[in-house]
Amino acid sequence: MARYQVGLQTEAKIIDATRSLLAEGGLEATTLKSICERAEVRSGSFYNLFDSKEEAILRVVRESIEAVDPDPDGAGTDSVDDLVRAYIRFFSEEPQLARVYVVAALNGDSTGESASRRFLRHHLRRVERFADAMARSDTHLGRDEATVKAELLLGALDGLAFRWSLEPEFEFDKYALLAAERLK
């Protein structure tokens, strides 16, 4: 752990380098060498602050997972529209983190064996939150039906997000709103 100012700065440079590399070229491009070059740091410095390459990558991945779902304690107040808007905002305001999010979701094995397991847990939490919002807006809706609808909407949103990662010109926001309108 960094204790001095310089150490904290180096840590930040390393995290920045890791994030941009993950966003640009996925795990493939995120080697120790490329991280150190971009961060302008020698490998010994890296290992003075991080136990492994994994650790740096995991920090960035966690950062992206948390960023997609802000205010996790606020559950019980957001509407479906709020949640969808937050998702859209994430993609337009944090495209780099958003790309990391998509990349992370897909690489099951690479980041420790449980990367996809972590992602699944995160997804299930999100489904619950969407289902809550749906049940709140329609009192006739049973819990199970709300969960099904939430899976459907989130599945669609994630698919559109993936589509956007294939082609950044894809109007993710437009399609996300359409999906929400028809599936909520």
Partner DNA sequence: CTCAAACTTGGGTGTATACTCAAATTACGT
Partner DNA sequence: ACGTAATTTGAGTATACACCCAAGTTTGAG
Q: Where on the chain is the footprint of DNA (CB under 7 A)?
A: 1-10, 30-34, 41-49, 52-54
> Given the complex with DNA, which of 40 and 66 has the nearer CB atom?
40
CB of 164 to a copy of itself, least distance (A): 9
| 109 contacts: CB under 8 Å, gap ≥ 6 | 115
Q: Which two tokens stand for residue 54?
A: 């994994």
> Given the complex with a copy of itself, which of 138 and 158 has the nearer CB atom?
158
CB of 12 to a copy of itself, least distance (A): 26
Q: Kindly tell me which residue out of 8, 25, 31, 125 binds a copy of itself, with binding defined by CB under 8 A.
A: 25
CA angle 50, 56, 62 (to 5 degrees): 135
DSSP code per residue over 66-80 = HHHS--GGGTTT--H
| 147: partner contacted, choices a copy of itself, DNA, none (Cβ within 5-8 A by kind) | none
User: Do residues 173 and 88 make contact, with C-beta atoms less than 8 angstroms apart?
Assistant: yes
| 37 contacts: CB under 8 Å, gap ≥ 6 | none
Q: Where does 94-142 have alpha helices with state H?
A: 95-106, 115-137
| 12: partner contacted, choices a copy of itself, DNA, none (Cβ within 5-8 A by kind) | none
The length of the chain in residues reads: 184
State the binding string over 102-141 for a copy of itself (x if CB under 8 A, else -): xx-xxxxxx-----x--xx--x------------------
Based on the shown chain and the rule CB under 8 A, indicate whether residue 144 belongs to the binding site for a copy of itself: no
Rounded Cα–Cα distance for residues 136 and 123 (Å): 20
Binders of a copy of itself: how many residues, by CB under 8 A? 36
Q: Which two tokens stand for residue 150?
A: 């939430």
> Given the complex with a copy of itself, which of 8 and 29 has the nearer CB atom?
29
User: Do residues 5 and 17 make contact, with C-beta atoms less than 8 angstroms apart?
Assistant: no
- Residues interacting with a copy of itself, by CB under 8 A? 25-26, 28-29, 102-103, 105-110, 116, 119-120, 123, 148, 151-152, 154-163, 166-167, 175, 178-179, 182-183
